[in-house]
Amino acid sequence: MASSHLDHLENQSIYILREAYANFKNLAMLWSIGKDSTVLLWLARKAFFGHAPITLVHIDTAYKIPAMIAYRDRLALEWKLNMVYGQNTEALREKKTFPDGTATRLQCCGSLKTEALKNTLSGEWPRYRLNLQSGKYEPDINREPYTGVIVGARADEEGSRSKERYFSPRDKNNEWDVGDQPPELWNQFKTDFAPGTHIRVHPLLDWTELNIWEYIERENIPIIDLYFDKGEGKRYRSLGCYPCTAPVESTAKSVPEIVEELKNGKFANIAERSGRAQDKEDGGGLEALRRDGYM
């Protein structure tokens, strides 16, 4: 047994990442630029001894906070990542979005995130790959569907995620059958799947928000600075698109201060996604979004 709880979580995640890498020929990892998927990326570098041999996929809604894109590309170039992004260019062109006033928040999420994710993963829409020499994105020649998709979901985020397996099947329509999931025991995962279906892999399932921050502190992971208060008494607790993500009132300026705030401070009993407006619309439609493939 690993000696501390963080060690235990870290080693379990590393084991899962390597199992995914060994079993899926077309493997992608979703990188939202937020703290969870950045920890996931860091764990991949640990699993593969400094390398990240997995394609990282970012769904760019075009409404991300601009600092997120700059941070993404800086890290991608520095860590030599296989960086790919996808986008719902049609919805953006036709202004079918919430900020343009022609869609509800949930419809906007469904179009810019869920639709874009589905079609980027399946290869039906173009993918754009970062050329590490030029620093520019180019159309990706690989249009194969990804059969394994690694996601940074945690069981403690909200109800629907607590029912996930480490290796969780999605059918042809990206749908998740919550009622009939495969058994998972003794670190033997579902790695066989029918043609047209794919597997979502969840290495962070057992981590809590607090574990994530404690690990960021322990490993000194370069997390995006939107999470820190820069003197205005505000910081982001959860990152998303700027029209729907509000900062929280907090003066935590560093990782240790965030850890302290989560443990004993004002957020000890308040949910992480409380700043996400789309969760509140439609009586909390996250499980529906999730069944449809929302990460």
Residues 22-81 that bind other proteins (CB under 8 A): 22, 45-51, 53, 75, 78-80
Minimum distance from residue 138 beta carbon to other proteins (Å) = 19
Nearer to other proteins, 48 or 242 (CB): 48
Q: What is the amino acid identity at position 104?
A: T
Asked if 277 touches other proteins (CB under 8 A), the answer is no
Nearer to other proteins, 69 or 155 (CB): 155
Provide DSSP, 201-253: E-TTTT--HHHHHHHHHHHT----GGGS--SSSEE-SS--BTTTB--EE----
Q: What is the amino acid identity at position 170?
A: R
| 256-275 residues near other proteins, rule: CB under 8 A | 256, 259, 263, 269, 271-274
Do 199 and 24 form a contact (C-beta atoms < 8 A)? Answer: yes
Minimum distance from residue 65 beta carbon to other proteins (Å) = 20
- What does the alpha-carbon distance between residue 44 and residue 34 come to, in Å, rounded to a whole number? 15
Asked if 279 touches other proteins (CB under 8 A), the answer is yes
| 141-170 residues near other proteins, rule: CB under 8 A | 155-163, 165
Angle CA 283–262–269, to nearest 5 = 45
Asked if 194 touches other proteins (CB under 8 A), the answer is yes
Binder to other proteins among 66, 101, 139, 183 (CB under 8 A)? 183
Minimum distance from residue 154 beta carbon to other proteins (Å) = 9
Nearer to other proteins, 92 or 224 (CB): 224
Q: How many CA atoms lie within 13 A of 9 on its CB side?
A: 20
Binder to other proteins among 188, 196, 249, 254 (CB under 8 A)? 188
Minimum distance from residue 217 beta carbon to other proteins (Å) = 5
Provide the 8-state DSSP code for 174. Answer: S
Nearer to other proteins, 126 or 256 (CB): 256
| 200-229 residues near other proteins, rule: CB under 8 A | 208-211, 214, 217-222
Nearer to other proteins, 62 or 271 (CB): 271
Q: With contacts defined by CB under 8 A, how many residues of the chain interact with other proteins?
A: 74
**Secondary structure (3-state) at 85:** strand
Instruction: Give every CB contact of residue 103 below 8 A, 6+ residues apart in sequence.
Output: 96, 97, 111
Provide the 8-state DSSP code for 159. Answer: G
What residue has token string 């982001």? Answer: 236
Minimum distance from residue 80 beta carbon to other proteins (Å) = 6
**CA 67: distance to chain centroid?**
17
Binder to other proteins among 246, 287, 291, 295 (CB under 8 A)? 287
Asked if 133 touches other proteins (CB under 8 A), the answer is no
Asked if 291 touches other proteins (CB under 8 A), the answer is no
Asked if 8 touches other proteins (CB under 8 A), the answer is yes
Token pair, residue 108, equals 């906007």
CA torsion sign, 54 to 60 to 65 to 71?
A: positive
